[in-house]
């Protein structure tokens, strides 16, 4: 350094702070892109119910997606064309128990509903508007 020259420490701090903010922004954007990458449409229902998908029960206005996880059965009714608020319904009943239901006027899906079935059969029902499905005893 030459005599009489001074270093502005505030300017150095601002440069490091700007680089830190920029780095954080880049990492945040990368994480969001990784989460919202291809296949996010199918991951939504999976995130509603734990476990693995064991059945899809299609009907004219949507479908019921059925998941199993450690003796529990979970179901979600999903509209084929979401966006309009309409009547939706989902029900899961383990044999020998009462059904667990969710119904109302929804835009995208009804549920999730979960029951402990163990090794018992379950009866699943779902509806969106005028379309519906009833499984009969399954997953025995």
CATH of the domain at 106: 2.60.120
Confidence bin at 42 (pLDDT 50/70/90)? very low
pTM score, whole prediction: 0.67
Q: In which domain, by residue range, is 100 found?
A: 41-138
Alpha carbons 24 and 87: distance in angstroms, whole number: 44
- Lowest mean pLDDT across 41-50, 64-73, 124-133: 41-50
Same domain, yes or no, for 103 and 47? yes
Same domain, yes or no, for 31 and 59? no
Same domain, yes or no, for 66 and 103? yes
Give 74-99 pLDDT, tens digit per residue.
999 999 999 989 999 999 999 999 99
Alpha carbons 104 and 139: distance in angstroms, whole number: 27
Average pLDDT over residues 31-60: 67
Tell me which DSSP letter residue 120 carries: S
pLDDT at 65: 97
Same domain, yes or no, for 27 and 95? no
Same domain, yes or no, for 15 and 50? no
The pLDDT mean for the chain works out to 81
When divided into structural domains, the chain yields a total of 2
């Amino acid at each position: 350094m030459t005599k009489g020259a001074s270093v502005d420490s505030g300017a150095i701090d601002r440069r490091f702070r700007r680089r830190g903010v920029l780095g954080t922004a880049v990492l945040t954007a990368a994480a969001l892109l990784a989460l919202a990458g291809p296949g996010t449409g199918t991951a939504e229902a999976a995130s509603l119910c734990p476990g693995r998908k064991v059945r899809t029960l299609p009907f004219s206005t949507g479908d019921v997606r059925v998941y199993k996880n450690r003796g529990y059965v979970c179901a979600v009714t999903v509209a084929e064309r979401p966006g309009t608020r309409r009547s939706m319904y989902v029900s899961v009943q383990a044999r020998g128990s009462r059904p667990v239901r969710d119904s109302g006027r929804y835009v995208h899906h009804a549920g999730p509903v979960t029951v402990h079935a163990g090794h018992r059969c379950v009866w699943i029902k779902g509806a969106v508007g005028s379309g519906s499905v009833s499984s009969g005893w399954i997953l025995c």
